[in-house]
């Protein structure tokens, strides 16, 4: 068994009784071709996602070590993970949710079990847990509401996953609330500071709240966004309106208020670690790009994470 896979399984065994991030664990693997770009890299796979997504990563040499947790359906509003041992916990504060629905994958990366994990983003279900767990979470361009993507802490792995070359210095604009969302001041301030290396200019962007379109199942072009992306490469926002809540539920807050518009429009987007709030919980900076321009998101992630403006913490716990 490759050393990295053995190390990942050892850390999984240590942390899993507390974090409950895995639905199923794999112990035996065929050796990866050492000539592949990610040969022997242990990854976690979101339970129930498309087999083709997993296969594309295995074609790069990745070794799946297990399926991560997803919602179990016991409560209709619950979007974070659960397995037979209990609810999936945020490694930064066990009393808080990691978000969801790709909860287990975010926790597996944030806790250092694996360097890369897969996810599916249906309304923010990669970006929200990425923000609340302090890791990168990318959703790709899609013509459907749900888009595949990955979690990692390393922008270089994003570039290999996407098979793309990075661009330098994408232009950026900033909106703290997209013109309709109720965002905590602290979330906006931390995300704005993290965005400094991208030198965004504030814009007076007013999108229509996508809630009605979401529940009516309406997807497609967004004229306001199309016009915006004629003038800039990136739109930057906080990823979430507030911090991770407790395991008793979100209350009346819509945690996807800043993310789900881009599922309807199909734009690729990423949550980038932006720092920590006054309670020591991670905050995310969201970057949204033109269709097919994931390379701009990788460049944004690298610029932010290599800046002294952002406190980059080690994996937890």
* Residue 139 annotated among the catalytic residues of the structure: no
Using alpha carbons only, give the angle 142, 146, 150 rounded to the nearest 5 degrees.
85
d(CA 98, CA 101): 9
Q: What is the secondary structure of 73-127 as a DSSP string?
A: SSSTT--S-EETTEE--BTTBTTB---SSSHHHHHHHHTTS-SEEEEEESSSTTH
Q: Of 101, 175, 257, 271, which residue is the catalytic one?
A: 101
* Residue 278 annotated among the catalytic residues of the structure: no
- Residue 57 main-chain phi, psi, to 5 deg: -75, -35
Q: Of 102, 125, 176, 257, which residue is the catalytic one?
A: 125
Backbone region of residue 275 per phi and psi (left: phi > 0; alpha: psi in -120 to 50; beta: other values): left
* Residue 168 annotated among the catalytic residues of the structure: no
Q: Three-state DSSP class for 194?
A: helix
Active site residues: 46, 101, 125
């Amino acid at each position: 068994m490759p050393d990295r896979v053995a190390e990942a399984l050892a850390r999984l065994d240590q942390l899993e009784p507390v974090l409950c991030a895995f639905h199923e664990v794999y112990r035996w693997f065929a050796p990866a071709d050492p000539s592949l770009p990610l040969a022997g890299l242990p990854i976690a796979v979101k339970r129930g996602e498309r087999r083709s997504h997993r296969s594309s990563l295995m074609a790069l040499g990745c070794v799946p070590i297990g399926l991560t947790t997803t919602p179990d359906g016991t409560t209709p509003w619950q979007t974070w993970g659960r397995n037979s041992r209990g609810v999936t916990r945020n490694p930064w504060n066990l009393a808080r949710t990691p978000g969801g629905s790709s909860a287990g994958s975010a926790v597996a990366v944030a806790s250092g079990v694996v360097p890369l994990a897969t996810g599916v983003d249906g309304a923010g279900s990669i970006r929200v847990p990425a923000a609340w767990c302090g890791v990168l979470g990318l959703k790709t361009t899609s013509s459907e509401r749900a888009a595949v993507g990955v979690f990692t802490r390393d922008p270089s792995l994003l570039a290999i996953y996407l098979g793309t070359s990075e661009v330098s210095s994408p232009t950026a604009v900033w909106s703290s609330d997209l013109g309709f969302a109720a965002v905590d001041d602290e979330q906006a301030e931390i995300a704005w500071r993290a965005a400094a290396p991208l030198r965004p200019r504030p814009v007076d962007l007013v999108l229509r709240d996508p809630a009605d379109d979401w529940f009516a199942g309406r997807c497609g072009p967004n004229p306001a966004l199309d016009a915006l992306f004629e003038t800039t490469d990136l739109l930057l926002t906080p990823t979430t309106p507030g911090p991770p809540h407790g395991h008793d539920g979100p209350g009346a807050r819509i945690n996807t208020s800043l993310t789900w518009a881009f599922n309807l429009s199909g734009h690729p987007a990423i949550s980038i670690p932006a720092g920590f709030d006054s309670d020591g919980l991670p905050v995310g900076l969201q970057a949204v790009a033109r269709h097919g321009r994931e390379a701009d998101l990788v460049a944004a992630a690298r610029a932010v994470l290599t800046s002294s403006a952002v406190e980059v913490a080690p994996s937890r716990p």
